Amino acid sequence: MAERRRLLIDASRLPPSGEHRCFHLNDQEVRYLRKVLRLKPGGQVDVVDGRGHLWTALLIAGDQLELTSDRAQPHGTELKPMPQLGLAMALVRRGMDDVMRMTCELGVDHVQPLQADRSVPQAEHRPERWGVILQEAVEQSERLWMPDLQPRLVSGAWWMTPASDDLRLIAVTRDAGCPHLEAWLDQAAALAPRIWLAIGPEGGWSEGEVAQALASGWIGVTLGDTILRSSTAAVAGVSALCSWRTLSA
Quote the strand ranges of the chain, DSSP E. Answer: 6-8, 22-24, 44-48, 53-60, 64-67, 76-77, 84-90, 110-115, 148-149, 153-154, 167-171, 194-199, 219-221
Q: Could you tell me if 63 and 150 lie in one domain?
A: no
Task: Establish if 30 belongs to a structural domain.
Answer: yes
What's the CATH number where 71 sits? 2.40.240.20
The number of distinct structural domains making up the chain is 2
- pLDDT, tens only, 40-52: 899 999 999 999 9
Coil, strand or helix: which one is 198?
strand
Domain limit, last residue, from 61, 77, 93: 77
Q: Could you tell me if 149 and 168 lie in one domain?
A: yes
Q: Please determine, for residue 99, whether its predicted confidence score (pLDDT) is greater than 90.
A: yes
Q: Could you tell me if 73 and 94 lie in one domain?
A: no
Q: Could you tell me if 113 and 189 lie in one domain?
A: yes
Q: Could you tell me if 147 and 107 lie in one domain?
A: yes
Task: Establish if 53 belongs to a structural domain.
Answer: yes
Output the average pLDDT for the chain.
92
The percent of residues above 90 in pLDDT, for the chain, comes to: 77
Average pLDDT on 159-167 reads: 94
DSSP 217: T
Instruction: Give the DSSP per-residue string, 14-72.
Output: SPPTTS--EEEPPHHHHHIIIIIS-PPTT-EEEEE-SBSEEEEEEEETTTEEEESS-TT
Decide the pairing of beta strands 153-154 and 110-115. Answer: parallel
- pLDDT, tens only, 29-42: 999 898 888 888 99
Domain limit, last residue, from 46, 77, 108: 77
Q: Could you tell me if 170 and 52 lie in one domain?
A: no
Task: Establish if 46 belongs to a structural domain.
Answer: yes
Residue of 239, 231, 207 lying closest to 220 (CA atoms): 207
Q: Could you tell me if 93 and 63 lie in one domain?
A: no
What's the CATH number where 109 sits? 3.40.1280.10
Cβ atoms of 119 and 92 within 8 Å: the answer is: yes
Task: Establish if 126 belongs to a structural domain.
Answer: yes
When pLDDT is cut at 50, 70 and 90, the band that residue 3 belongs to is low
- pLDDT, tens only, 184-238: 888 766 678 999 999 999 999 999 999 999 999 999 999 988 889 999 999 999 9
Q: Could you tell me if 105 and 213 lie in one domain?
A: yes
- For the chain, helix, strand, coil in percent to 5 are 30, 25, 45
Domain limit, last residue, from 28, 47, 77: 77
Task: Establish if 1 belongs to a structural domain.
Answer: no
Q: Please determine, for residue 177, whether its predicted confidence score (pLDDT) is greater than 90.
A: no
Give the pLDDT score at 1: 45
Task: Establish if 115 belongs to a structural domain.
Answer: yes
Task: Establish if 155 belongs to a structural domain.
Answer: yes
Give the domain range for residue 195: 84-248
